[in-house]
A and B are shown apart, each in its own frame.
Chain A
Amino acid sequence: MDKKATRVAYGEALVKLGQTNDRIVVLDADLASATMTNAFKKEFPDRFFDCGIAEANMVDMAAGLSTMGLIPFCSTFAVFAGRNYDQIRNGVCYPKFNVKFGFSHAGITVGEDGGSHQAIEDISLMRGIPGMTVFVPSDANECYQCVEAAAEINGPVFIRTARLPSPVYDPRPFTVGKGTVIRDGSDCVIFTCGIMLEHTMEAAEILESKGIKTALVSFHTIKPFDEELARIYAAKCKNVFTVEEHSILGGLGDTVASAIIGKGVEKFRKIGINDEFGQSGKPLDLLKEYGLTGPQIAETILKDL
């Protein structure tokens, strides 16, 4: 199967958007070759604004640009969702300005750069801001859909992408705020987001081979969240597991927990980064270190069932 990083899809999607909408402008903070906005820079140099290594100023400049009718896409590393938090909150979201954030290199699969560069709390930070839409595409095709949808939304949108190439699946129907049922099942359900889709698919197959009918639901939109779908599957399967390449505090797991609380669930476990920072290593070694490979996820779930 072809592999492509969601950050690469982000860069490609921007170019495509730029060809049909001249209000699209892209800002980057000296990371265009990593966030993959360099393709947009090459094709539309007059609509690309490098902001230097000054992420806070990038976000507020985007706020100002949006007031002139432009649709700015701010691009940098997801770990700077923290560095820019005040600008995103007060400069963009409080006035409900039409600014998009395409933040890449999320999660521990950043790899060798280490814990300082591995965002594990960005979903938590972003979903807490009123009016923010939060997308976590699971593959390149879904990332194209997220970027297109972001341009259509009149307001702030956060798109979390990954550095690590991951499988590209056939395009699926996409509706903002709706989860996607990847496979049906009745014994347990795994809720996931982002590039953990690949590993949860593997986990589901392992569980299935042991006779456990496993449902798998992927959420490209963490906010607004598809609470209805989460409740339906929680009620049906009773055993609920969430898997994310993010802290188990404040991310997908807590989003699901809020949605399904009191719905008669028997088992509920959040699988992710357990309130600790990441470290340097090869991406796949890191997934293993933190228990996020398919076989490890299956094993964790088996222990609970």
Chain B
Amino acid sequence: MDIQKLESYAREVRKDIIIMTSKAGAGHPGGSLSCTDALVALYFDVMNVDPKNDKMPERDRFVLSKGHAAPALYGTLCERGYFGKEEFDHFRQLHGILQGHPDTKKCPGVDASTGSLGQGISIAVGMALGAKHTGNKCRIYTVIGDGESQEGLVWEASMAAAHYKLDNLTVILDHNGLQIDGPNDEVMSLGDIKAKALAFGYDVIEVADGNDMKQVLDALHTPPCPGKPRYIILNTLKGKGVSFMEGQVGWHGKAPNAEQAAQALKELEG
């Protein structure tokens, strides 16, 4: 798919994020906006998926390990055709399919329930191992957060991914540098995350601007390195696309009010 078209989908998903979170009066817009371009690239260009056949055995799998970015996933799944926009009205509401964090029992296109940080990547490793074991040629993608990478489980899973030579696995780090209580470096420094990923046995690609569709696509389309899991560092901007949210810690888990939402949508309309 051409880049302009993908960029326009990314704009739509960003609008969905604003609409969803402002309607619900809750949710996590900052970290959703930072990983939107990666999710759009995956669902519209990279992954083999069929919204009309969401349990297709050979489908590629995606696990949103940073489950609080659910609005980005829901927007992407909706634009891709998994469900209609009317579901946005029920985001975080009683009986809605769009739970506060992704629920595989309720939402089509969601293969794992996430939200407890560190678990998604570990589940993705199990999926990749299971795919190899059953001869399924699908690929497994997971998006993890940088704050999430403070969880020990991320590194247990990484060790296993290298041990089992899971070259059908791509771990994508949404590196926006911020978490609930402040910058990563103030809360718990990640140190040299690239060196860490390399040391854990990943084939690492670093993307200078993880909100640039072409750069994201180039990384995601890089052929797998035989015998090694892939790790893509996306240097992103938290709140990307909404001027007053960009780079602001305060928009991690806060929804825009009606006025702020209107301004955000205006900016995103361009």
Contact = CB atoms under 8 A, between A and B. Distances in A.
A68 B134 contact: yes
Interface stretch (A13-21, A48-56, A263-271): A48-56
Interface string A56-97: 110011111111111000000000000000110011001110
Interface string B72-104: 000000000000000000000000000000011
Contact of B126 (A47, A52, A61): A61
A90 B112 contact: no
B105 A95 contact: yes
Given A68-B133, A68-B136, A69-B134, A57 B122 contact: yes
Interface stretch (B153-161, B205-213, B240-248): B153-161
- The binding surface of chain B is classed by DSSP as helix
A65 B126 contact: yes
Contact of A65 (B104, B105, B130, B153): B130
A90 B119 contact: yes
Contacts of B152: 56
Given A60-B122, A63-B123, A68-B136, A54 B129 contact: no
A188 interface: no
Given A52-B159, A68-B136, A95-B104, A60 B129 contact: no
Contacts of A62: 126
Given A68-B127, A95-B103, A96-B105, A60 B159 contact: no
Size range of the chain A interface in the assembly: 20 to 34
A57 B160 contact: yes
Contact of A61 (B105, B115, B125): B125
A55 B60 CA distance: 27
Interface residues on B, range: 20 to 34
Contacts of B133: 25, 46-47, 65, 68, 70
Given A70-B130, A91-B122, A95-B105, A64 B112 contact: yes
B236 interface: no
A52 B155 CA distance: 12
B112 A67 contact: yes
A64 B159 contact: no
B160 A86 contact: no
Contact of B123 (A49, A52, A61, A96): A61
Interface in B99-153: 103-105, 111-113, 115-116, 118-119, 122-131, 133-134, 136, 152-153
Contacts of B61: 67
Interface string A23-54: 00100000000000000000000110101101
A257 B111 CA distance: 39
A94 B106 CA distance: 11
A94 B113 contact: yes
Contacts of B131: 68
A76 to B, nearest CB: 14
Contact of B116 (A52, A67, A86, A96): A86
A94 B67 CA distance: 14
Contacts of A95: 103-105, 112-113
B127 A67 contact: yes
B113 A54 contact: no
Interface string B29-70: 000000000000000000000000000000001000000000
B123 A60 contact: yes
Nearest to B120: A60
A57 B111 contact: no
Contacts of B104: 95
Contacts of B116: 86, 90-91
A61 B113 contact: no
Nearest to A23: B134
A62 B188 CA distance: 29
Contacts of B112: 63-64, 67, 91, 95
A66 B164 CA distance: 17
A56 B156 contact: yes
Given A52-B159, A90-B119, A91-B119, A60 B113 contact: no
Contacts of A47: 133
Interface of A: 25, 46-47, 49, 51-52, 54, 56-57, 60-70, 86-87, 90-91, 94-96
27 contacts: A52-B156, A52-B160, A54-B159, A56-B153, A56-B156, A57-B159, A60-B119, A60-B126, A61-B160, A63-B119, A63-B122, A64-B125, A64-B129, A65-B126, A65-B129, A65-B133, A66-B130, A67-B61, A67-B111, A67-B123, A67-B126, A86-B116, A86-B119, A90-B113, A90-B119, A91-B116, A94-B103
Given A56-B152, A67-B112, A87-B119, 17 more contacts: A25-B133, A46-B133, A51-B160, A54-B159, A57-B156, A60-B123, A61-B129, A67-B111, A67-B127, A68-B136, A69-B134, A70-B134, A86-B116, A87-B122, A94-B113, A95-B105, A95-B112
